[in-house]
Structure 1
Amino acid sequence: MDRDHALNEMPNGLIFKVSTQTRKIIFFTGIFLCATPFVSPAIALLLGLIIAQFTGHPFIELNHKATNWLLQFSVVGLGFGMNVHSALLAGREGVVFTVFSIISTLLMGYLMGRWLKIEKKTSHLISSGTAICGGSAIAAIAPVIQADEKQISVALGCVFILNSIALFVFPMIGHHFNLSQTQFGLWCAIAIHDTSSVVGAAAKYGTHALEVATTVKLARALWIIPVAFLSTFLFKNKSKKIKVPYFILLFIVAMVANTYVAEVAVLSPYITMVAKAGLTLTLFLIGAGLSRNVILAVGFRPLLQGVVLWLLISSAALYAVLHFAS
């Protein structure tokens, strides 16, 4: 039995029996729509989710690598739309929130994992993804602790499910509490796991919110390095190399060039426009990778850990930005 027939006969009742050619046409139609200015990041994610449930992703084995590269490209491109001075101001304001939230999330995640009796590596990956930057943190820390494919898949599935919810819910909550652009940007960067969903939610809220959220989130992503070192100690494994997120350095270079090089500043609006289109496509691909089987594979206890951690950090961060951020 080939892969396509196996996929179409999965007992989830949601995937239509369509030919490979039809699935590819539907998939590429979705990509085309997401490349237009008429589809927002949230709608792109929803469109990807619909395709995942009803026809399936025809190139699922390439999806993770494609989203990873496209996200990095988009983030670097967004740097061309930002100013160094305002970014430094946002970074300084977010550093206290970042340090406290990362330490508290990792500690709560450890305690919850033990209480729920979740496999240790899976629990640590979920905690790290929640504390730092979602899929990027999981991808960086997984080889350090020698996590297997199932443990990685469970953690990624948990993070991506919650990211999808956050992209729709956070802007509504922000408007309900009348958060300023700065407050919402800080809250997004602290409480939403993945950079793609942080940027998507912040872009929907406003230009300054996008600048604050992206800057704080990328500064937060640098914590992958010390957390990875800590992980080698906790799991007694010193043989694996730690993946450094080099694209963050390119983001800084782009931001500096936009601020100080006049010729670059002229082109920046066009580069930023392409980067935002890339981000929208990234979210479409993430949604298209979340089939019902992926969601069910997460399991109740790991998902419970992820949800409780997310609710705790989101609520605490919202309280903090309401009372201590302008």
Structure 2
Amino acid sequence: MQKRFAGFAVATIIAILSQFLTHFIPNIGAATIAILIGIVLGNTVLKQPILNAGTKFAEKRLLEYSVMLLGLTITFQTIVQLHWTGLLFIIIQMTITIVAAIAIGKWLKFDDGIYLCMAGGNAVCGSSAIASIKPVINASDDDAGMSITLVNLMGTVMMLILPIIGTISFGHLDMLRGALIGGTVQSVGQVIASATMVNQTTVQFATLFKIMRIIMLVVVVTVFARIHAKNVAKATPAESVEDDIKKGKINFLPWYVLWFLIFCLLNSLLTLPSWIAGTAHFLSTWCEIIALAAIGLRLNLQAFLKAGKRFAIYSIGVGAIQIIAALILIKLLIHV
């Protein structure tokens, strides 16, 4: 516990500072500010090994808790509000994003730890999705950290430009602008911040579309686990893969994703007091911000910049496909 204290405390202080800075730069969001501050400090004045145990704990455990608590903030009933065309839009949009991220990742010669984390992070809910996918595909800390950084940076860019693109493309139709933002932007915080730049009605629609993507998290995790198991099987004897599954080395559903699903079902079937969802949202948000600060502190910027060109092509390519696909699908499927 003492070994973890220093790194955890530093990550928490950065998270508090990031939340404070949102009063002056509200359109970026505390999560993005936290990871950026963490990257700067972690590669300059906070390189001390004594921080490693605490930042590693914060990165791993707090993102898991964030995913779990997210289940208490959403219900399956929200799907009904967007009709079958809204659900169809999300399913096709997520499929295109995942296929594009995997295809571009393979073309750029990244391993499956990178391209599956990128696919899930962009398609579902940013760093929370990557936290869920990482253990089932045995991704390294470096792969997950770089993926989270890329997803958050691209999410920030999309957060800022989509209100403009949405208004140019759809005029003042709030449901369509909400579909564009909620169907593409990565994290929940970025979705809300982006939609807030338009109006409160757009925030409501964007949140509903985003929630629909989050509900698909369990499906994505399960599918990615099987993709990884097949990749492992190609290089490993089938008996060895079966042994790994039995021993729990290859997991198809992490504990916190299971609790996410249980909480979501509970919240859908019962009328829970509003303070439960409020508290869960508060704790989930803080867990994510502290975890992202820790990820920033642990990111090796030198290694990141060394592979910068490939990562830039990858991030921009996936983001551009997401936006173009969403614009086309919304025009074809969603009618107000």
Quick check: 1:203–1:209 contact (8 Å CA) kept in 2?
A: no
Normalising by structure 1, we get a TM-score of 0.70
Q: CA deviation at 1:158?
A: 2.1
Q: How do 1:132-147 residues align onto structure 2 when only pairs under 5 Å count?
A: 132-147=124-139
Hey, what does 2:238 align to over in structure 1?
Answer: none
* Number of residue pairs the alignment of both structures matches: 296
- Alpha-carbon shift at residue 89 of structure 1 (Å): 3.2
* CA shift for structure 1 position 317: 0.7
**Which residue is 2:296 aligned to?**
290
Correspondence for 2:218: 222
Change (3 A) 1:188 1:255: farther
Query: CA separation in 1, counterparts of 2:209 and 2:301?
Result: 28
Q: Establish whether residue 92 from structure 1 lines up as the match of residue 87 from structure 2.
A: no
Q: Which residue of 2 aligns with 1:234?
A: 231
* 1:72 equivalenced with 2:82 (yes/no): no
Indicate conservation of the 8 Å contact 1:200/1:279, yes or no: no
CA distance, structure 2, for counterparts of residue 125 and residue 28 of structure 1: 23
Specify which structure has the higher proportion of helix: 2
Aligned-residue Cα RMSD (Å) equals 4.0
| 1:243 counterpart residue number | 253
In structure 2, stretches of 5+ residues that fail to align are 234-240
Cα contact 1:126–1:155 (8 A) shared by 2: yes
Cα 1:149/1:93, change in 2 over 3 Å: same
Using the alignment, how far apart are the partners of 2:269 and 2:24 within structure 1?
A: 31
The question of 1:254 aligning with 2:267 is answered yes
In structure 1, how many angstroms separate the alpha carbons of the residues matched to 2:33 and 2:191?
Answer: 18
Gaps of 5+ in 1: 4-18, 259-263
- 220-229 vs 44-53, which deviates more? 44-53
* Alignment check: 8 A CA contact 2:31 2:289 kept: yes
Query: For the structure 1 residues 26 and 220, does the alpha-carbon distance in structure 2 shift closer, same or farther, using more than 3 Å as the test?
Result: closer
- 1:46 and 1:120 map into 2 onto residues whose CA distance is 25
Deviation sequence 1:275-297 (CA, Å, 0-9, x none):
55445535643553435955554
* Percent of matched pairs sharing the same residue: 16
Change (3 A) 1:43 1:222: closer
For residues 11-57 of structure 1, what are the alpha-carbon distances to aligned partners after superposition, in whole Å with 9 as ceiling and x for unaligned? xxxxxxxx99x9689547537748x9999584423542564256558
Question: 1:42–1:200: 8 Å Cα contact kept in structure 2?
Answer: yes
Secondary structure of the equivalent of 1:193?
coil
1:315 aligns with 2:331: no
Cα gap change, 1:109 to 1:226, in 2 (>3 Å): same
Secondary structure of 1:235 counterpart = helix
State the Cα distance separating 1:77 from its structure 2 match. Answer: 4.2
How far does the alpha carbon of each residue in 1:137-176 deviate from its partner, in whole angstroms, 9 at most, with x for none?
Answer: 4344444443333333332332232233334443444445
TM-score by length of 2: 0.68
Alignment-derived partner of residue 236 in structure 2? none
